[in-house]
Amino acid sequence: MSFETQAPHWEWYYIAIYFFIGGVSAGAYFIGSLLELLGSDKHRQISRTAYYLAFPLICVTPVLLIADLGRPERFWHLFFYTKEGIPYMNFTSPLSVGTWALLVFGGMSLLSFLNNLIIDGRLKSPALEGLFRHVPHKVYAVIGSFFGFFVAGYTGVLLNITARPLWASTDPLIGSLFIASAASTGAAAIALVMAWQKISSRDAIKEVVVFDRVAMVFELALIAAMIVVAGRYSAPLSKGLYGLIFWGGTVVIGILLPLGLYWYGRRPGAAGVSLTALAAVLVLFGGAMLRIAIVQAGQLQ
């Protein structure tokens, strides 16, 4: 028996799910901010939905992240080096940089969230209104979007920048894959909520779906590339439980099936919104399975 590297023993229900939710939040925020920048009324509905989604979701993530720490009460060490009492970031550690990115993204998504509440008239605070008048929301939308990508992507880079055979051998593709998945699941989440609310125009949902399809195709391409690049090290992804989760849960149920459903739903007279909603649920499921498969399979001995 020889063990070249050890697994961190991250729990799937903390870390993989954090990666997933962070990705959904970031993907949604990016779509929201992009459409806000593009600026049309129809898109306004989408971006509002996106902002309302992004912040609550990202609020969940630190809880998951901290829950997986061995010493949760020390989570603030991520920002302050206690021995010197100064802020701290380690540029060579994706985890360190990513945590800061998460903080900034969280802040930006909060601002966008509040801004939308004000615009929608759900929050009446003269002080805040004044504040938001002075700072054009496009500024933090751009910043948030940037860090959103960061949050979505760093989780993958974080895995790539290890010595675990699966994660290291798939370098540098997991970051890209997670970004594609974030975009796809973000779009699906938006589509789902919009379908749920039944107040959005079918066209708007359709546009989100179009983007989702593109993102999924890209994701599929990245998966193929990853398997090729990893060669024999991809074995943990094709065997056993994680093989099932990866190929069944992510590729078939989470990508191919929704692509088919979207395709089918495109035709006039198809079941439309509910079909789209089903597809979106599957995409989200697939996104979660992708994170679980990659995070957990990479920890197998």
Q: Are 190 and 50 in contact (CB under 8 A)?
A: yes
Q: CA-to-CA distance for 273 and 256, rounded, in angstroms?
A: 19
| Residues 159-188 as x/- pattern, contact with other proteins by CB under 8 A | -xxxxx--xx--xxx-xx--xx--x-----
Residue with Cβ nearer other proteins (26 or 195)? 26
| Residues 279-298 as x/- pattern, contact with other proteins by CB under 8 A | -------------------x
Residues 6+ apart with CB under 8 A from 66: 72, 75
| Residues 237-276 as x/- pattern, contact with other proteins by CB under 8 A | ----------------------------------------
Q: Are 36 and 213 in contact (CB under 8 A)?
A: no
Smallest distance from other proteins to CB 35, Å: 6
Smallest distance from other proteins to CB 135, Å: 17
Q: CA-to-CA distance for 78 and 142, rounded, in angstroms?
A: 25
Please report where in the chains the tokens 């949902």 appear, as a residue. 205
Report the site for other proteins in 138-157 (rule: CB under 8 A): 142, 145-146, 149, 152-154, 156-157
Q: CA-to-CA distance for 48 and 43, rounded, in angstroms?
A: 8
Report the site for other proteins in 48-77 (rule: CB under 8 A): 68-72, 74-75, 77
Smallest distance from other proteins to CB 221, Å: 10
Report the site for other proteins in 68-127 (rule: CB under 8 A): 68-72, 74-75, 77-78, 81-84, 86-96, 99
Residue with Cβ nearer other proteins (109 or 160)? 160
Q: Is 137 in the site for other proteins (CB under 8 A)?
A: no
Give the number of residues in contact with other proteins, rule: CB under 8 A. 79
Q: Is 132 in the site for other proteins (CB under 8 A)?
A: no
Residue with Cβ nearer other proteins (118 or 265)? 265
Q: Are 248 and 292 in contact (CB under 8 A)?
A: no
Residue with Cβ nearer other proteins (127 or 203)? 203
Residue with Cβ nearer other proteins (37 or 135)? 37
43, 48, 137, 291: residue in contact with other proteins (rule CB under 8 A): 43
Q: Is 37 in the site for other proteins (CB under 8 A)?
A: yes
